[in-house]
Chains A and B, each alone.
Chain A
């Protein structure tokens, strides 16, 4: 253990690889994807951490059933993440843990958000193979700060989440430009909320149009990571903080998340071998 949080504190100490979950658009399922990806990595035997840097609208604690939990501080002034499971291989940090009530608003301008992000990146006691960072929508203060600070850390890359409509795809295309300009590796595009199967007549409706994510991936020359259909069970599990991958392990959505883990992990294993 080196020094406590200072100007030159180490970024993301104790983290193996970092994955960013990004999307220019809000409400496309960044937090849901973050949680499911983390759960799937955990199920595959890795230890995972989730860092929620959506300061104004943190959703991760609710989705993991951790509302109302507190963050402990070590004598060295570091924060201990909140553990989801008993064997402490799944840990979470979110600004929501620091707020007094559910309706407390974080009304901050950029500089304050940047300081908070810097602190979140330097002063947490992680001990994980993978850290997934959930981001707010946009390409502004939070994103610039994270990218600046992550330069010295091991970053696997970014997963871009979109929904099929052009309205969302447009914003995600902007996020792609952002990734290119900041030089972050793009792991691929994941299309969420693709189609809904009516539970009554099994008719599949493309509520939010179709194929937008795949088109974007082809156009931008990045991998397409798959489709997650709309599943009320997934929304329900996110609401109640239950583990969707356990509850509906045979659903198409669960299969997509598991496949996502296999595409992400071998890549990192190869990298590690190279390092060795």
Chain B
């Protein structure tokens, strides 16, 4: 991954190149030391072959991203997976939870007490139903209170294992749930997912809530995607309004002072996939790992998630035809 940063001096050889840190142009560059220390250079990873092999059976890889925490990435990931299956029952979907310090997928999918089994073919992911499997660090911890106090390199190692050593099999979609931020986990997962040479899709869905405090971080995440050349399928605005279960009044709990998701979509030229309202039953179903889509097939939230899934399918099929 040799890259020339935007603000690099003229004739920068690129951060990952052989001449990084030692070329003429590097003299006086504030990052010269970092480059020459070899941090930027990626020696040929011996596992690339194995990673590529595993990924060869996966058609579409979708990252669920948001710079901000608690906007509903995990909820969207699980709902999207279930909605994709509801649309077409022959779809094989996998969920990979790379939130190492705060894994939520085991709870949202109702698989909290499951443990990973390993076989000759690698670690078996947990099957929530016939065509939905999931892998998360939550399945490797001894108790719910166990803290994973790891610095970056260890997290990266585990993420690699999640791709290299897990027997994902043939999947139509692999949906990746990420932690908030733009740091180790994100760089690693993108690095490994983009090693696959097949013509499969790698794209991102960005989640936000309407407030500027969330949009601030989400803009950073969009910059992150642009820098790493990941196409963005669209933006999902979550928690748009709250509908009082008693009097049906809609209240904007998180006020969109700067236009919220629609304005962000306009500014960035990205499609707005849906605006999902805040619904207490969703929080409840997620806490107990129930499938909201089948329990409340008529709710507004369900409709919105189905709409998102349809657009994902459309995007991925469109990509294939090109």
Where the two chains meet, the residues of A that have a C-beta atom closer than 8 Å to any C-beta of B are: 24-28, 31, 56-57, 59, 62-63, 102-111, 113, 136-141, 143-144, 163, 165-168, 170-171, 173-178, 181-182, 196, 198-201, 203, 205-209, 230, 232, 235-236, 238-240
Contacts and interface: CB of A to CB of B under 8 A. Distances in A.
A113 B73 CA distance: 24
Nearest to A32: B213
Interface in B167-204: 179-184, 186-187
Contacts of A240: 257
A144 B69 contact: no
Central interface residue in A31, A104, A168, by most chain B CB within 10 Å: A168
Given A28-B70, A62-B213, A136-B180, 4 more contacts: A24-B147, A27-B71, A105-B223, A107-B227
Given A107-B183, A175-B147, A62 B216 contact: yes
A137 B179 contact: yes
A59 B182 CA distance: 15
8 contacts: A27-B180, A56-B182, A107-B187, A109-B187, A111-B39, A140-B149, A143-B149, A239-B211
Interface string B233-257: 0000000001011110101111101
Interface stretch (B56-64, B99-107, B114-122): B99-107
Nearest to B102: A171
B255 A198 contact: no
Interface of B: 39, 67-71, 74, 100-102, 104, 107-108, 144-153, 155, 179-184, 186-187, 209, 211-214, 216-217, 219-224, 227, 242, 244-247, 249, 251-255, 257-258, 278, 280, 283-284, 286-287
A70 B39 CA distance: 31
Contacts of B217: 56-57, 59
Contacts of B182: 56, 105-108
A166 to B, nearest CB: 4
Nearest to A54: B181
Contacts of B283: 165, 167, 207-209
Nearest to B108: A167
B151 A141 contact: yes
Contacts of B102: 24-26, 137-138, 170-171, 174
A57 B219 CA distance: 10
Contacts of A144: 149, 151
Given A207-B242, A235-B253, A57 B153 contact: no
A168 B70 contact: yes
A209 B287 contact: yes
A139 B149 contact: yes
B219 A103 contact: yes
A102 B253 contact: no
A176 B222 CA distance: 32
A56 B183 contact: yes
A118 B67 CA distance: 23
A220 B28 CA distance: 53
A26 B180 contact: yes
B252 A232 contact: yes
A188 to B, nearest CB: 17
Central interface residue in A56, A106, A143, A176, by most chain B CB within 10 Å: A56
